[in-house]
Amino acid sequence: MKVLIISIASILVLAAIALIFFHFPKNRKFNNESLPNTISSPSAQPTTTNLQASFTIKTDNIIRIFTNSKYHNQSEDVYITPDNPSRVNVKKTGITWADFFNTLPMKLTKDCLVTGDGETLCRNEASSLKFYLNDREDPDLLDKEIKNGDKLLVIFKSNG
């Protein structure tokens, strides 16, 4: 009887070893369809980033300060914080200046600035609204992607 039990146990152990060895070989080959697509193409750009820029808005020689909490952390992709409300933190690639200003409780277009307090300042024959990026005037600034180290200056000046 002992011989029978030992023989059955030996057969089971050998079967288990054979199953592991033949069913799960170490150098198993996969076809491309069975592999998850984890490698991105070289032309694919990352969707996240960590860059900073700065901005200043000046209206009739008054520099606007964005210390009110209604301006802070309004988006995960691009935002300002209370510790430095003139620094723009960009966490997603492709963010434009228009994207940034659209997160704030104010409005900025090529022709008008509507402040967070609802004051409307528009360019006309008696007033100007100008945009400067890195010390160069750029009327198309809102369409530009925010780059690391960019310095934006928006100036509204009433000529009257």
Q: How many structural domains compose the chain?
A: 2
Q: Looking at residue 154, what DSSP letter applies?
A: E
pLDDT tens figures, 83-99:
999 999 999 999 999 99
Average of per-residue pLDDT across 124-135: 97
Same domain, 8 and 62: no
Same domain, 139 and 70: yes
Q: Which residues contact 53 (CB under 8 A, 6 or more apart)?
A: 87, 88, 90, 146, 147, 148, 149, 150, 151, 152
Q: Which residues contact 143 (CB under 8 A, 6 or more apart)?
A: 96, 97, 98
Range of the domain at 6: 2-26
pTM here?
A: 0.70
pLDDT tens figures, 101-122:
999 999 999 999 999 999 999 9
**Rounded distance, CA 20 to CA 30, Å?**
18
pLDDT tens figures, 23-81:
544 444 444 444 444 444 445 555 899 999 999 999 998 999 999 999 999 999 999 99
